[in-house]
Amino acid sequence: MLSLIAPVVSILAIYAPDSDVELYDYTVKKGDSCAKIAKREFGSRKAYDRIHKHNPDMGPTPHKLVPGEVLKLPREKLKPAAQVTASERQVEARAPSDTGWKTAGQGFDLFRGWRVSTLERAFAEVTFRDTSRIYMRENTLVIIYGGTDGAARRTSTTAKLDKGALRSRLGELSGGKTLAVETPSSNTELTGGSALITVDPEGTSRVANHGGGKAKVSSGKGGKAISVPERMGSKVKKGKAPSPPKPLPDTPTWASENAGTFLIPDGASGTITGGWKSVPKAETYRVEVGRMAQGGFIMTSVQVPKSATAFEVHGLPTGEYFATVAAVDNDKFESPPSRLYKSKVISTPLVAPTGDAISVPAAAAGQPMAPVRVLPGAKFDVPDGLTCGLGTQELGTTVTASGAGIQEVRCQDAGGKPVGGFAVDVIEIKVAKAGGEGAGSFNVRRGASTTLDLALTADGELPAELAVRAPEGFEVSQMRKTDDGAWVVDVTTGDAAVSPATFGIIIAGTDVELADFPVTVLEPDEPEPDAPEPEKKRDTHMFEAGVYGGFLAMSTNHELVTTDSPLANDRRIARVSPDVGLRLGYYPVRQFGIEFEGGLAPTRLREGSDVLLFEGRASLIAQMPSRITPYVLLGAGVTGLTSDPDVLGDDTDASFHWGGGVKFFATKNLAVRLGLRDVVLGRSGDAGASHSPQVLLGISGVFRRTSAKTR
């Protein structure tokens, strides 16, 4: 029986499909034989069995081939030199003959000569046929050459790094195989272990042997190679020999207090954080974060200044993550990465007091989750193995929101290690008398039914159905909402009711209290208490604008003259001159302000010639605010005169003034004022001053006056 099975197995093996080859058509020519075809197509007359294998209908040997007959001949399939085995964000590739780039996601095959590129914030893992791998950081371009094929066994894999950074991982290689990396300024051979190779914008290469293998670097073909020992690095500038190896910076170590678990509400995105101990020679640090589910693949990488010893990564869904940190010195050499700092993001349902799940708004890209807005009574069950509390609450297995404002959820695991939490913003709810100011106390009368009009204010949405919970001795009706948005409830006060009492606003059908308010019980013959007088508001940043008119008695000793006319010797202006003008005042507080005035006084000399007086001044004013407001003022400005040249000419002198008066507020925003002041100018002929009395009556509009009483 066995002798019958063996030939069948042999035949099946001969004619089984070969996944490594593809078949093409060959048309038999005159004079062809199997040996001749094998010599021409495969390079050896003895390879005719490859023809027989794929053409079983040829019959027994020797075969007599007929010209025009079509045979199926095998040729080796073109195999990819490498494959994109992991990617994050935008990774692209293109063939040597192509001008356009293709998206190169996980599983994308890369053939010899293909280029693969990572764009901004993108990362890629490329695995070669010999299982060696390279990790490409953002803005990196690599040309894939793959292994060396031929009669000799493939002994190396080659890639060309044009720009950016790649980390090699050759720990799985065996038999002395190497990874050769070409850059614009160097050739590097790596055998086993892990190394980091970077190319900066000037084309300078840096080779850092992170350990576990050997590294040799030269300045190019024909250049002398030097060995780079473990935990050392060498720099190669274009056209220069490699620098002597130098020690890499020390590897940072993680802080012991880092949280390993981070809790978020269902539907939210989480944040993981971690800190490390500083390294003396570090100029910057590089932090890389990845998902454990991707087998240790990096999903984000960032370089931070030496002053930073902690990181935060936002916008993460639930899952397991890892982070590494490396130190970078002032010559841009990077230490081996730290051990993996492993963490996980877990979630729990956040439930509203009504029992409905709370929807968490999505956070902006790259931003932490904002505090979740919740009503008092919202809660969540703590995941197994943790205990949590809100704000200053004791830690437990259930967390219920209370109080108001932003509060942090604090958690720890069974070993007492801190767990990263989130924040909630508990909505504050206030109760006041509808149509009134402030909360105050609601009055009810013993032995009677009283209707309470409640105004509820909240910085968030309230449930549609609310109820009032009252202490013993009170009966309350169902709450109802009026058209103007107030809530109404009827309260019947029994003999056993105690005053003062505290009523609660609850969600209908639950015991969840959202807010409370005070209630005072009045006896049947007790009068209603007077409502407190509302606090007077202070007047600040007021403005006054108005007009005035009056009379100016100009001194005969003034110096407003610029002519040699005979009339200049008699500079007596009419005893009383009409005076009109505009004024604008600003009062930062109601007692003090500053005023600006400008006016004209058309008049004449006593001998009959016309002259025009004008004035512009600023005054500091102090007043006693009330409906009748006395005031005093002090200020300075200019007083001038204009006339024909043969009269007094044109002149302007500095002036000083002082005086006072009274304002009468006819309404809240309209004031009538009467003022008397002395305008002081220089005196003609000798040193001294001249005095010109002025009486003004005006009317002003008052803006931003908030005083409640005007009379």
The CATH number of the domain holding residue 471 is: 2.60.40.10
pLDDT of residue 292: 81
Does residue 685 share a domain with residue 637?
Answer: yes
Q: Is residue 675 part of a domain?
A: yes
Specify the amino acid at residue 416: G
Q: Is residue 108 part of a domain?
A: yes
pLDDT of residue 14: 39
Instruction: Answer whether residue 13 shows pLDDT above 70.
Output: no
pLDDT of residue 5: 39
- The pTM score is 0.59
Confidence of residue 10 (pLDDT cuts 50, 70, 90): very low
Answer with the residue of higher pLDDT: 507 or 483: 507
36 Cβ contact list (under 8 Å, min separation 6) = 45
Query: Is the four-CA dihedral 396, 398, 401, 403 of positive or negative sign?
Result: negative
Q: What is the torsion angle, in degrees rounded to the nearest 10, for the CA atoms of residue 598, residue 601, residue 605 and residue 608?
A: 140
Does residue 137 share a domain with residue 68?
Answer: no
Q: Is residue 646 part of a domain?
A: yes
Worst-scoring range by mean pLDDT, 16-25, 215-224, 287-296, 321-330? 16-25
Does residue 515 share a domain with residue 564?
Answer: no
Distance CA 212, CA 226 (A): 18
Specify the amino acid at residue 133: R
Contacts within 8 Å (CB) and 24+ apart, 34-40:
34/63, 34/65, 37/71, 37/73
Of 213, 247, 281, which one is at a domain's C-terminal end? 247
Does residue 133 share a domain with residue 41?
Answer: no
Cross-strand bridge partners of residue 455: 432
8 A C-beta contact, residue 660 and residue 673: no
Instruction: Answer whether residue 75 shows pLDDT above 80.
Output: no
Q: Is residue 641 part of a domain?
A: yes
Does residue 205 share a domain with residue 100?
Answer: yes
Does residue 87 share a domain with residue 34?
Answer: no
Does residue 643 share a domain with residue 511?
Answer: no
Worst-scoring range by mean pLDDT, 105-109, 145-149, 676-680? 145-149
Q: Where are the beta strands (DSSP E) in 371-500?
A: 372-374, 379-381, 386-390, 398-400, 405-413, 418-419, 423-426, 429-433, 442-445, 449-458, 466-469, 474-476, 480-481, 487-493
Q: Is residue 481 part of a domain?
A: yes
The CATH number of the domain holding residue 570 is: 2.40.160.20
Residue holding tokens 């300045």?
219
338-350 pLDDT, tens digit each:
999 999 999 999 9
With a pLDDT cut of 90, the percent of the chain lying above it is 44
| 402-429 average pLDDT score | 91
At 168, phi and psi to the nearest 5?
-95, 150
pLDDT of residue 9: 38
Does residue 216 share a domain with residue 98?
Answer: yes
Of 204, 226, 247, which one is at a domain's C-terminal end? 247
161-192 pLDDT, tens digit each:
899 999 888 754 445 578 888 889 989 888 88
Of 117, 118, 135, 137, give the one whose Cα is nearest residue 126.
Answer: 135
Q: Is residue 275 part of a domain?
A: no
Q: What does the DSSP assignment read for 207-257?
A: EEEEEEEEEEEESSTTSPPEE--TTEEEEE-TTSPPPPPEEPPPPP-B-TT
80-132 pLDDT, tens digit each:
888 998 888 899 999 887 888 999 989 998 888 889 999 988 899 988 887 78
Distance CA 65, CA 60 (A): 12
Q: Is residue 270 part of a domain?
A: no
Does residue 550 share a domain with residue 448?
Answer: no
Confidence of residue 154 (pLDDT cuts 50, 70, 90): very low
Question: Is the link from the previous residue into 500 a cis peptide, with omega within 30 of 0?
Answer: yes
| 445-462 average pLDDT score | 89
Confidence of residue 7 (pLDDT cuts 50, 70, 90): very low
| 272-292 average pLDDT score | 91
Burial track 252-267 (b if 16+ CB lie within 10 A, e otherwise): bebeeebbbbbbbbee
Domain coverage including residue 203: 82-247
Alpha helix positions (H), 235-323: none
Does residue 222 share a domain with residue 141?
Answer: yes
- Tell me the pLDDT of the chain averaged across its residues: 85
Confidence of residue 70 (pLDDT cuts 50, 70, 90): very high
Tell me how far CA of residue 697 lies from CA of 73, 256, 659, 662, in angstroms: 119, 81, 14, 10
Q: Is residue 545 part of a domain?
A: yes
Structure tokens at 683: 């005196």
Worst-scoring range by mean pLDDT, 160-174, 273-287, 314-328, 463-477? 160-174
Alpha carbon 53 to its chain centroid, in Å, reads 67
Does residue 568 share a domain with residue 629?
Answer: yes
Structure tokens at 623: 């007043």
Instruction: Answer whether residue 150 shows pLDDT above 50.
Output: no
The CATH number of the domain holding residue 44 is: 3.10.350
Total domains, the chain: 4
Element (H, E) at 377: none
Structure tokens at 690: 């001249």
Q: Are strands 123-128 and 133-136 parallel, antiparallel or unpaired?
A: antiparallel
Does residue 93 share a domain with residue 35?
Answer: no
